[in-house]
Amino acid sequence: MRYAEKIRIPHTPAAARSAAAAGLALAIGLTATPALATPATRTAAGTEAHSGLDRYYDQRLSWGTCVQSPDDTTGRDLDAAGVQCANVTVPLDYTAPRGRTITVAISRLKATDTRHRIGAILLNNGGPGGTAVESPPTVRKAMKEVGPRYDIVGFDPRFVGRSTPLDCGWPVSFPWFSAGAGRAGFDRHVALSKSLAAKCRATNASVLPHVTTRNTARDMDVIRGALGERKISYLGYSYGTYLGTVYTQMFPGRYDRVVLDGGIDPRAYGPRLLRDTARENEQALSAWAAWAAGRHTTYGLGRTRTAVLATIDRVMAKAARGPLTVGTAPDTFRLDDTHIPTLLFMGVADDTDASRAFLAEQVSVLSKAAKNQQSPLSPEFTEQLRFALTGEGSASGSVQTAIICGDVPAPRNPELYWRDIERARAAHPLFGPLTENIGPCAFWNTPREDPTRIRHDAPALIVAATGDPRTTYRGSVALHDQLPSSRLLTLKGANRHALYGEYGNACVDAKVNRYLETGRLPGKDEVCVK
Which string of DSSP letters, residue by residue, matches 390-451? SGGGHHHHHHHHHHHHHHS-----HHHHHHHHHHHHHH-TTTHHHHT---GGGGSPPPSSPP
Which of the listed ranges 30-39, 42-51, 445-454 does the model predict with the highest average pLDDT? 445-454
Residue 317 vs residues 176, 286, 427: alpha-carbon distances, Å: 21, 19, 17
pLDDT digits (tens, 9 = 90+) for 363-379: 999 999 999 998 999 99
Residue 58 vs residues 122, 207, 310, 475: alpha-carbon distances, Å: 18, 25, 61, 37
Residue 223 scores a pLDDT above 70: yes
The mean pLDDT of the chain is 91
- The 10 Å Cβ neighbour count of residue 384 is 26
3-class SS letters over 375-394: CCCCHHHHHHHHHHHCHHHH
How far is C-alpha 211 from the chain's CA centre?
Answer: 15
The whole-number pLDDT of residue 36 equals 28
Question: Per residue in 470-487, is it b (16+ CB within 10 Å) or e — as a string?
Answer: bbbbbbbbbbbebbeebb
pLDDT digits (tens, 9 = 90+) for 451-476: 999 999 999 999 999 999 999 999 99
Residue 244 scores a pLDDT above 70: yes
Give the CA count within 13 Å in the CB-facing half-sphere of 157.
29
Nearby residues of 44 by Cβ (< 8 Å), 6 or more positions away: none
Among residues 406, 142, 125, 133, which one has the least CA distance to residue 240? 125
The whole-number pLDDT of residue 26 equals 37
Q: At 283, is the pLDDT very low, low, confident or very high (cuts 50, 70, 90)?
A: very high
Overall size of the chain counted in residues = 530
The whole-number pLDDT of residue 276 equals 85
CA–CA distance, 402 with 492 (Å, rounded to integer): 34
Q: At 49, is the pLDDT very low, low, confident or very high (cuts 50, 70, 90)?
A: low
Residue 132 scores a pLDDT above 70: yes
Q: At 174, is the pLDDT very low, low, confident or very high (cuts 50, 70, 90)?
A: confident
The whole-number pLDDT of residue 361 equals 97
Helix residue spans in 259-301 (DSSP H): 278-293, 296-299
Q: At 35, is the pLDDT very low, low, confident or very high (cuts 50, 70, 90)?
A: very low
Give the residue-averaged pLDDT of 501-530: 98
Peptide bond into 376 cis (omega under 30): no
| Side chain identity at residue 62, one-letter code | S
Pairing relation of β-strands 331-335 and 84-91? unpaired
The H or E element spanning position 104 is strand 101-109
499 touches 488 (CB < 8 A)? no
Give the residue-averaged pLDDT of 50-64: 94
The H or E element spanning position 318 is helix 305-321
Give the residue-averaged pLDDT of 172-182: 93
The whole-number pLDDT of residue 12 equals 37
Residue 11 scores a pLDDT above 90: no
Q: Which residue has the higher pLDDT, 330 or 214?
A: 214
Q: Which residue has the higher pLDDT, 313 or 331?
A: 313
3-class SS letters over 108-128: EECCCCHHHCCEEEEEECCCC
CA–CA distance, 249 with 242 (Å, rounded to integer): 11
Backbone angles phi, psi at 107, to 5 degrees: -135, 155
The whole-number pLDDT of residue 6 equals 32
410 touches 441 (CB < 8 A)? yes
Show me where the domains of the chain are located: 13-161+205-273+454-529
CATH class of 13-161+205-273+454-529: alpha beta
CA–CA distance, 133 with 151 (Å, rounded to integer): 13
CA–CA distance, 368 with 366 (Å, rounded to integer): 5
In the chain, % helix, strand, coil (3-state, to 5) comes to 45, 15, 40
Residue 57 burial by CB count (10 A; 0-12/13-18/19+): exposed, middle or buried?
middle
Q: At 48, is the pLDDT very low, low, confident or very high (cuts 50, 70, 90)?
A: low
The whole-number pLDDT of residue 47 equals 52
Residue 151 scores a pLDDT above 80: yes
The whole-number pLDDT of residue 51 equals 76
Residue 43 scores a pLDDT above 50: no
463 touches 258 (CB < 8 A)? no
Q: At 359, is the pLDDT very low, low, confident or very high (cuts 50, 70, 90)?
A: very high
Among residues 385, 299, 368, which one has the least CA distance to residue 334? 385
Q: Which residue(s) pair with 84 in the sheet?
A: 108
Give the CA count within 13 Å in the CB-facing half-sphere of 72.
15
Residue 178, classed as helix, strand or coil, is coil
Residue 3 scores a pLDDT above 70: no
8 touches 1 (CB < 8 A)? no
Residue 22 scores a pLDDT above 80: no
Sheet holding 255-261, edge to edge: 84-91, 101-109, 150-156, 119-124, 232-237, 255-261, 461-465, 487-492, 526-529
Backbone angles phi, psi at 528, to 5 degrees: -120, 165
- The 10 Å Cβ neighbour count of residue 426 is 8
pLDDT digits (tens, 9 = 90+) for 80-117: 999 999 999 999 999 999 999 999 999 999 999 999 99
185 touches 178 (CB < 8 A)? yes
